[in-house]
Structure 1
Amino acid sequence: MFTDWAEALNAESLHLDPTSAQQLAAAARTTAHHSRDKHDMTQLLDALGLPTDPDTLTALLPLIPETGDKPVTTTAATAPIDVPVIPLPVSNPVQELLDWAAAHPAAAVRNRATRITADLAELTERRDTEAAQREAEEKVARAKAELERAQEQLRTVKANTRTTTAAPTTSRTGSGRSREELAAIRSWARENGHQVAAQGMVPQRIQEAYDTAHQTSARKAG
């Protein structure tokens, strides 16, 4: 905690810019101080997301402890040294900034970090909820489409079944003759002096007489 109130106010009013050019340059110099050689420094700078352009590397070479101010000379290629490479942890600039703000001595900075953390958590929850909702809606749409196709197939099968099993247009009676044939027999019987009912069964003798008469007519016509 600050003991001087003016010093605390000045610290609270500092502009937070973790990616300023001054901080990047300071990080690059610190990296160079902890590097073994140019190759090691290049890998560290790249892992930390710092510039690795030729001008930057040339400016940082004198800061490497083993290099000092010695001029860089080109030598014959040597066999690479088998040194295990330990991957550096990937940094999250936003989380690092929030951690820094949460530990800041100024209450205003800490409060801001708390609000931002809560907002980020709320946004993350909303994003996940909307993604789950979209996925559920897509599943429902696919299920409805499948149901409509199945219903259409069922309607087609039922229509084909009705067509196949439809009753013949000419109905048969118990005598094996159609209603149209019985009506013709009744008409012939009345015309030839036979008495028949308008409905019901036609006597067998009249049916046989009708058949005999028509067979005789057919033979004469032939």
Structure 2
Amino acid sequence: MFTDWAQALEAESLPLDPTSAQQLAAAARVTARSSHDKHDMTLLLDALGLPTDPDTLTALLPLIPETGDKPVTTTPAPEAIDVPVVPLTFSNPVQELLDWAAAHPAAAVRNRANRITADLAELTERRDTEAAQREAEEKVARAKAELERAQEELRTVKAGTRTTAAATAGIRTGSGSGRSREELATIRSWARENGYQVADQGMVSKRIQEAYDTAHQATARKAG
């Protein structure tokens, strides 16, 4: 805050709680002469416990130097961070450029090369991961399609088996004549009574069935 040691010592020699207006005024004048602007003076007065009312500030403004050496603040340069270079497989021009940058004497260039190499490695890993994911999804889709086709074939086979079983049952029941078991039993009884040879089970010959139908048609005509 102070650019002159004499002024600093003069300000420090004042008591923190001055008991007279003269001491307050002297401290305020020293503070004003050591200020860079009105804002700086107000902060200093307030820090020292000196009056900061408008009248005091107006009276002290002429004491502020017209020019002053303002403190210069410098921001320290960030420290260089060495990132290990991961060797990657690129096209020759890109790899040559990265090799040149990695061996550059300037730390900023080397660090940029390291960051680019790390980014490229991350992108390569992400590309390979997404490609593997797509391949897995395609395999799952193909497996689902194969499963659906197999299930459809199984349903078709089951439906055909039911149809075949029903047809077989019809053959066994009606012996291929479209007649019920009761009708076939009646025909067998009639055939034996009329001198025909017929088995107790199995198919009844077409000749015997026609003879049975003819006899019953004639009987029906006579009855009518």
Which of these two proteins has the greater Rg computed from alpha carbons? Answer: 2
Higher helix share: 2
Higher relative contact order (CA 8 A, sep 6+): 1
| TM-score scaled by length of structure 1 | 0.39
